[in-house]
């Protein structure tokens, strides 16, 4: 019989029950027992759902109060010294302090750093290693949950992060050393973990080693060989799990490692199956990840069966089936969706539905297709309906995209010639000041949007209320003395959703939540079809804002790459093509704004970096089409119209050439948290256009000092001529309150005045 299993199930709950329980506990509204009870209920419910779907092995250890990498750190006793952990079991509040810096008990300390989990939108807590790092079994959570699942009668497969991926994900603190040196001390604890699981009666453990899909340095490859030959597994069988890509040149290595099973992702990397089949030793089982754990589309079961048929014949019982990776990255249950159009709903599969697909595939292989004829017919019909749907395929969009040529992806003249035209039109001082777009989203604004959505106020009432808000925001900006104003984005719930809702080809779920980090979830839109813009989306608001002031108003859009990277994207055409379609739709919006007399248009690309492939060798391909999409969106305007873009991160030293190739007239970036370190890149690379290095951290409620801002800008001016520098905060202000915003901007403007005076003086004396 073909064994079916699952690398991991979403923990947050179909109605985000875990989120609510966590936040209530953190606030002090509930006690620990209430939280534990929610955890037990969710685990039991999720295990039952997986068993009901018919899986043979149920994952344990995928449930986490905050993050599974943090859980590994607790299991291995890797608690940074500042948390003063006395040794022994790491308690719940220490876990939360590591994650968030504070908890109902214990002193507040700096939280651990958080960063993106491979190329997903999930964020994990970075382990911190000291050079004298010791390891010891310091949490019973995994074992308790194994016992809990066994008591309920499930055949369990605990999941842990493997030693090499765990070390890879961590950071050295207090001195530089080779993380691989820690292996000698780390491995015995992994031995103890498996020993304990063995004593509990566990047969299989899933050891996640996703770094095997990366381009690994030679010493890490060597370490894989030595670790897995030294660490015997203590009689527990190990399924080495890889996902998010192909094994590439680690394929031979991964097949060779002396463990009992290997899991590969054949959704992201179907081409690796043949190579793995060639090199897999005869004693090993192969778990084929054949249902997409990263996206929400129904699987084409016929196609998968066509591939798996011969594999099944060849491997027999050694073939296992599973989703490509943990289902953490998709919503829980499609059944609860009531708002989706019926045809689109029929094309989708969330976590629960994906598990049904896995067990249908397993039965088809074991008992023949007739045994699941009904399921196959249904799936076939859905796939065919999607393929042929006129909701997806819009001839006009395809024609237009085909006709795009180079003239549409370039401005008429180069920046050097555009800049004087823009300067004489805008008449801005040296170091122009502006903001990134949003102003405080007060409770009142949110209530107004909610009332409108629920039909409690009509369109006219809503418009009047929002316009009053915009007028007020403009007035406040004028009073502060900002040079380039914005309308403040009160009408926007979310920078992607707002535009997606107005574009054809996007769909939205009621409950399609996916964990981003801790208790935070996002609800990505679904891009299901060709993208078209039925009507202007922002023009009325921005035109109104401009009518409130004589100062230049900056129109505000979310860019095509960010729209793409923060959505579930259709899988029936290349991402590049979908991105270009969005770019064309947004291009029309940009042109309409220009026609309405808006002199400056900002196209946010907050998520451009997030789309970078895991392998550096694939970066150029991605950056090529991503930059092109931005240019397609931005380049239709006249040279005197100024294009801005904004990016929310500082780590772009390695993609600076691509950023320059976007050819925005002005780019605003996040720099304040890295103390302008980012600007080092401009020593080697002469960024040709204008730049606004974010001068203060909007994530903190603290009001920045005038002197600090001046210092930062002077640092920037050493690398970029003052004529090309702007002054702005490092991101949008929507999460802040008005008093802090006004105090901070006042200081920012004071700094601008000071800087201008200094340059004046220098010019006079020089």
Q: Which residues bind Zn ion (CB under 5 A)?
A: 648, 731
Q: Which of 139, 375, 732, 741 binds ligand GLN (CB under 6 A)?
A: 732
Chain centroid, CA 391 distance in Å:
28
Nearer to Zn ion, 2 or 668 (CB): 668
485 binds, among Zn ion, ligand GLN, none (CB under 5 to 8 A by kind): none
Q: Which of 321, 344, 629, 731 binds ligand GLN (CB under 6 A)?
A: 731
DSSP 673: G
Question: Which residues is 645 bridged to in the sheet?
Answer: 603, 667
196 binds, among ligand GLN, Zn ion, none (CB under 5 to 8 A by kind): none
Report in angstroms how near the CB of residue 384 gets to ligand GLN at its nearest.
39
- Rg of the chain taking only CA atoms, in angstroms: 27
Nearer to Zn ion, 296 or 485 (CB): 485
Report in angstroms how near the CB of residue 50 gets to Zn ion at its nearest.
38
Collapsing DSSP states into helix, strand and coil, what is residue 531? Answer: strand
438 binds, among Zn ion, ligand GLN, none (CB under 5 to 8 A by kind): ligand GLN
604 binds, among ligand GLN, Zn ion, none (CB under 5 to 8 A by kind): ligand GLN
Report in angstroms how near the CB of residue 732 gets to Zn ion at its nearest.
6
Cβ neighbors of 467 (< 8 A, separation 6 or more) are 544
Name the packing angle between helices 539-547 and 575-595 (round to 10°): 30
Report in angstroms how near the CB of residue 653 gets to Zn ion at its nearest.
18
Please, are residues 631 and 579 in contact by the beta-carbon 8 Å criterion? no
Report in angstroms how near the CB of residue 736 gets to ligand GLN at its nearest.
11
Nearer to ligand GLN, 495 or 531 (CB): 495
Please, are residues 723 and 666 in contact by the beta-carbon 8 Å criterion? no
Q: Which of 68, 438, 511, 642 binds ligand GLN (CB under 6 A)?
A: 438
Select from 261-269, 288-296, 435-443, 461-469 the region that touches ligand GLN (CB under 6 A).
Answer: 435-443
Report in angstroms how near the CB of residue 669 gets to Zn ion at its nearest.
9
Count of C-beta atoms within a 10 Å radius of residue 735: 12
Report in angstroms how near the CB of residue 540 gets to ligand GLN at its nearest.
18
Please, are residues 221 and 252 in contact by the beta-carbon 8 Å criterion? no
Query: CA 723, 725, 727: angle at the middle one, nearest 5?
Result: 135
Q: Comparing C-alpha atoms, which of 619, 602, 612, 611 is closest to residue 669? A: 602
Alpha helices in 403-518 (DSSP H): 415-426, 443-453, 459-480, 497-500
Report in angstroms how near the CB of residue 437 gets to Zn ion at its nearest.
8
556 binds, among Zn ion, ligand GLN, none (CB under 5 to 8 A by kind): ligand GLN
Cβ neighbors of 535 (< 8 A, separation 6 or more) are 502
Report in angstroms how near the CB of residue 34 gets to ligand GLN at its nearest.
34
Select from 332-340, 430-438, 541-549, 611-619 the region that touches ligand GLN (CB under 6 A).
Answer: 430-438
Give the CA-trace dihedral at 471, 476, 479, 481, to 10 degrees: -100
Nearer to ligand GLN, 298 or 736 (CB): 736
747 binds, among ligand GLN, Zn ion, none (CB under 5 to 8 A by kind): none
DSSP 609: G
Q: How far is CA 683 from CA 258, 659, 713, 715, 717, in A?
A: 48, 16, 15, 12, 11
Region of 234 on the Ramachandran plot (φ > 0 left; ψ -120 to 50 alpha; else beta): left
Please, are residues 298 and 276 in contact by the beta-carbon 8 Å criterion? no
Report in angstroms how near the CB of residue 498 gets to ligand GLN at its nearest.
10
Number of residues that bind ligand GLN (CB under 6 A): 13
Nearer to ligand GLN, 128 or 604 (CB): 604
Please, are residues 473 and 488 in contact by the beta-carbon 8 Å criterion? yes
Nearer to ligand GLN, 159 or 745 (CB): 745
Which residues are known to be catalytic? 699
734 binds, among Zn ion, ligand GLN, none (CB under 5 to 8 A by kind): ligand GLN
Report in angstroms how near the CB of residue 700 gets to ligand GLN at its nearest.
16
Integer Cα distance of 329 and 10 in angstroms: 7
Q: Comparing C-alpha atoms, which of 78, 69, 64 is closest to residue 12? A: 64
Q: Which of 80, 437, 536, 555 binds ligand GLN (CB under 6 A)?
A: 437
Nearer to Zn ion, 605 or 665 (CB): 605
Q: Taking CB under 6 A as the criterion, which residues in 529-588 touch ligand GLN?
A: 556
Nearer to ligand GLN, 163 or 732 (CB): 732
495 binds, among Zn ion, ligand GLN, none (CB under 5 to 8 A by kind): ligand GLN
Tell me the residue nearest to ligand GLN as measured from the CB: 732
Binding characters for ligand GLN, 593-622, by CB under 6 A (x = yes) = -----------x-x----------------
Binding characters for ligand GLN, 495-534, by CB under 6 A (x = yes) = x---------------------------------------
Integer Cα distance of 484 and 666 in angstroms: 12
Integer Cα distance of 116 and 520 in angstroms: 14
Nearer to ligand GLN, 62 or 690 (CB): 690
Beta strands in 162-313 (DSSP E): 171-172, 204-208, 237-241, 261-265, 285-291
Select from 192-200, 432-440, 519-527, 719-727 the region that touches ligand GLN (CB under 6 A).
Answer: 432-440
Q: Taking CB under 6 A as the criterion, which residues in 285-324 touch ligand GLN?
A: none
Q: Taking CB under 6 A as the criterion, which residues in 641-680 touch ligand GLN?
A: 646, 648
Select from 59-67, 336-344, 452-460, 731-739 the region that touches ligand GLN (CB under 6 A).
Answer: 731-739
Please, are residues 136 and 87 in contact by the beta-carbon 8 Å criterion? yes
Q: Check binding of 46 to ligand GLN (CB under 6 A).
A: no
Q: Comparing C-alpha atoms, which of 656, 698, 663, 711 is closest to residue 680? A: 656
Nearer to Zn ion, 289 or 488 (CB): 488
Per the structure block, which two tokens stand in for 577? Answer: 């093509």
Integer Cα distance of 202 and 198 in angstroms: 5
Nearer to ligand GLN, 255 or 486 (CB): 486
Per the structure block, which two tokens stand in for 5? Answer: 């299993």
DSSP 431: S
Please, are residues 151 and 93 in contact by the beta-carbon 8 Å criterion? no
Count of C-beta atoms within a 10 Å radius of residue 270: 15
Select from 145-153, 383-391, 431-439, 522-530 the region that touches ligand GLN (CB under 6 A).
Answer: 431-439
Report in angstroms how near the CB of residue 43 gets to ligand GLN at its nearest.
34
Per the structure block, which two tokens stand in for 595? Answer: 């026609």
Per the structure block, which two tokens stand in for 680? Answer: 């080092």
Integer Cα distance of 421 and 403 in angstroms: 30
Q: Comparing C-alpha atoms, which of 633, 603, 587, 630 is closest to residue 495? A: 603
Nearer to ligand GLN, 438 or 546 (CB): 438
Count of C-beta atoms within a 10 Å radius of residue 556: 28
Per the structure block, which two tokens stand in for 574? Answer: 């290349």
* Residues near ligand GLN, by CB under 6 A: 436-438, 489, 495, 556, 604, 606, 646, 648, 731-732, 734
């Amino acid at each position: 019989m073909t064994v079916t299993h699952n690398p991991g199930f979403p923990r947050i709950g179909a109605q985000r029950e875990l989120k609510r329980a966590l936040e209530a506990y953190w606030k002090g509204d509930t006690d620990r027992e209430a939280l534990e009870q929610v955890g037990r209920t969710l685990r039991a419910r999720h295990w039952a759902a997986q068993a009901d779907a018919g899986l043979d092995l149920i994952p344990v250890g995928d449930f986490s109060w905050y993050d599974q990498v943090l859980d590994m750190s607790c299991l291995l006793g890797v608690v940074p010294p500042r948390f003063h952990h006395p040794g022994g079991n790491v308690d719940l509040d220490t876990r939360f302090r590591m994650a968030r810096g504070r908890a109902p008990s214990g002193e507040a300390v700096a939280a651990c750093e958080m960063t993106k989990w491979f190329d997903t939108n999930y964020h994990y807590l970075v382990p911190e290693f000291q050079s004298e790092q010791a390891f010891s079994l310091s949490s019973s959570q995994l074992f308790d949950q194994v016992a809990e699942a066994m008591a309920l009668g499930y055949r369990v497969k605990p999941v842990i992060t493997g030693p090499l991926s765990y070390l890879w994900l961590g950071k050295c603190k207090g001195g530089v050393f080779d993380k691989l040196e820690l292996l000698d001390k780390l491995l015995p604890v992994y031995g103890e973990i498996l020993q304990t699981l063995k004593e509990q009666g566990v047969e299989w453990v899933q050891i996640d080693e996703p770094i095997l899909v990366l381009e690994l340095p030679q010493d890490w490859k060597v370490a894989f060989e030595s670790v897995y030959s030294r660490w015997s597994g203590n009689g527990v069988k190990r399924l080495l799990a890889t996902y998010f890509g192909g094994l590439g040149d680690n394929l031979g290595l991964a097949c060779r490692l002396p463990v009992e099973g290997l899991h590969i992702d054949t959704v992201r990397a179907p081409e690796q199956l043949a190579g793995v089949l060639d090199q897999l030793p005869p004693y090993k089982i192969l778990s084929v990840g054949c249902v997409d754990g990263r996206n929400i589309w129904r699987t084409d079961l016929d196609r998968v069966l066509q591939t798996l048929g011969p594999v099944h014949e060849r491997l027999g019982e050694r073939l296992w089936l599973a989703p490509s990776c943990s289902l953490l990255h998709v919503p829980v249950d499609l059944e609860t969706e009531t708002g989706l159009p019926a045809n689109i709903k029929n094309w989708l599969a969330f976590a629960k539905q994906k598990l049904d697909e896995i067990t249908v595939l397993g039965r088809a292989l074991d008992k023949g297709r007739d045994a699941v004829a009904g399921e196959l017919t249904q799936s076939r019909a859905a796939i065919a309906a999607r393929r042929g749907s006129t909701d997806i395929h819009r001839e006009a969009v395809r024609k237009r995209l085909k006709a795009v040529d180079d003239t549409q992806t370039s401005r008429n003249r180069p920046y050097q010639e555009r800049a004087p035209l823009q300067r004489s039109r805008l008449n801005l001082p040296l170091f122009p000041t502006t903001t990134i777009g949003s102003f405080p989203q007060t409770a009142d604004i949110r209530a107004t949007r909610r009332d409108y959505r629920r039909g409690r106020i009509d369109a006219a009432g809503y418009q009047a209320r929002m316009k009053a808000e915009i007028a007020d925001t403009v007035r406040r900006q004028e009073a502060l003395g900002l040079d380039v104003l914005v309308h403040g984005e009160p009408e926007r719930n979310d920078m992607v959703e707002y535009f997606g809702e107005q574009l054809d080809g996007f769909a939205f779920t009621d409950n399609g939540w996916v964990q981003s980090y801790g208790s935070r979830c996002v609800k990505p839109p679904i891009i299901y079809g060709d993208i078209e813009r039925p009507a202007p989306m922002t023009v009325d608001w921005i035109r109104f804002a401009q009518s409130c002031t004589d100062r230049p108003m900056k129109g505000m859009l979310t860019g095509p790459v960010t729209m793409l990277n923060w959505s579930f994207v259709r899988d029936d055409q290349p991402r590049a093509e979908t991105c270009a379609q969005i770019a064309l739709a947004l291009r029309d919006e940009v042109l309409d704004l220009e026609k309405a007399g808006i002199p400056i248009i900002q196209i946010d690309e907050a998520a451009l970096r997030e789309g970078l492939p895991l392998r550096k060798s694939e970066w150029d391909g991605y950056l090529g089409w991503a930059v092109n999409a931005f240019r397609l969106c931005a380049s239709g305007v006249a040279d005197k119209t100024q294009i801005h873009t904004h990016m929310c991160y500082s780590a772009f030293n390695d993609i600076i050439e691509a950023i320059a190739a976007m050819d925005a007239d002005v780019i605003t970036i996040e720099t304040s948290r890295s103390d302008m370190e980012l600007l080092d890149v401009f020593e080697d690379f002469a960024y040709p256009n204008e730049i606004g290095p974010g001068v203060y951290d909007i994530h903190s409620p603290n009001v920045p000092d005038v002197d600090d801002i001046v210092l930062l800008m002077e640092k920037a001016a050493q690398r970029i001529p003052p004529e090309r520098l702007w002054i702005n905060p490092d991101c949008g202000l929507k999460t802040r309150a008005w008093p802090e915003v006004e105090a901070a901007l006042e200081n920012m403007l004071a700094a601008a005045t000071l800087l201008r005076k200094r340059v004046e003086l220098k010019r006079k004396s020089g």
